[in-house]
């Protein structure tokens, strides 16, 4: 139907030479040899997320915050009904070079100030920097708890981490993806708000890929360098070593510690962001 054709299909399993079900690499070879069209379910999802309007604006209102006044825009996903929020500072105007933070929900860090991660600190620092710039957007995506595995699974992973696994190993031991987050909804929210090019506030290069397209372009990266503590040190090191996070545009963490500004933080530093 998406291709404008009759909605007719044949469902079958293609068996490889060894008798097992053929997987995508082998199917691509088969399709090429037989001159067949081939797409994956992932391709279909990506296509629809880029071309279908999957969010609707539910409400908007000004909100005074501890950092300054913002305007909150609530968007509802047409896929699952989840409501997300965009905190907007100033006028978007032509949408060029907007300071943007796309923040994944982390109830333990954002609400209860958990010291196991840097999420709450990053949220506060991003809001502070957008306020200081006088113009920007923070998109808060719900349903991203634990990089998409959910709150219960995240707490189970914490127990495994206490037994010696890192965050990646804990997810894998639970049979869960290391990171299943998808940023298409956030991208559509930004597009609807008028953002066209953005200075993306992130330490995670994967967000570049997740937000490009949708009529959006990333004009540059703004690092969010928050204090390191004894509680989150291993968590941050794992993100850098195994997930490719970048904590300094030139040299990365200094002696394994994340540099907040001109003063390097230490293991005894409190986990607030008051100095940032």
Catalytic residues: 179, 181
d(CA 212, CA 216): 6
The CA distance from 257 to 228, in Å, is 6
Q: What is the dihedral of CA 231, 266, 225, 255, to 10 degrees?
A: -100
């Amino acid at each position: 139907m998406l291709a404008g054709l009759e909605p007719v299909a044949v469902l079958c399993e293609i068996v490889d030479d060894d008798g097992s079900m053929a997987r995508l690499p082998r199917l691509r070879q088969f399709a090429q040899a037989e001159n067949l069209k081939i797409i994956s379910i992932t391709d279909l999802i990506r296509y629809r997320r880029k071309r279908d309007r999957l969010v609707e604006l539910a409400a908007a209102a000004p909100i005074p915050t501890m950092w300054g006044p913002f305007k909150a825009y609530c968007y509802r996903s047409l896929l699952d009904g989840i409501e997300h929020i965009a905190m907007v500072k100033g006028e978007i105007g032509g949408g060029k070079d907007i300071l943007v933070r796309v923040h994944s929900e982390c109830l333990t860090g954002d609400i209860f100030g958990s010291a196991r991660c840097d999420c709450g600190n990053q949220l506060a620092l991003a809001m502070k920097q957008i306020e200081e710039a006088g113009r920007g957007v923070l998109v808060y995506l719900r349903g991203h708890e634990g990089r998409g595995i959910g709150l219960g699974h995240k707490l189970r992973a914490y127990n495994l981490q206490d037994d010696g696994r890192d965050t990646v190993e804990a997810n894998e031991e639970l049979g869960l993806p290391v990171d299943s987050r998808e940023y298409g909804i956030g991208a559509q929210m930004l597009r609807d708000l008028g953002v066209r090019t953005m200075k993306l506030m992130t330490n995670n290069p994967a967000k570049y890929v997740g937000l490009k397209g949708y009529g959006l372009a990333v004009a540059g990266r703004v690092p969010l360098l928050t204090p390191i503590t004894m509680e989150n040190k291993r968590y941050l090191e794992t993100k850098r070593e195994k997930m490719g996070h970048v904590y300094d545009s030139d040299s990365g963490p200094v002696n394994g510690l994340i540099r907040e500004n001109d003063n390097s933080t230490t293991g005894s530093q409190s986990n607030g962001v008051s100095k940032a």
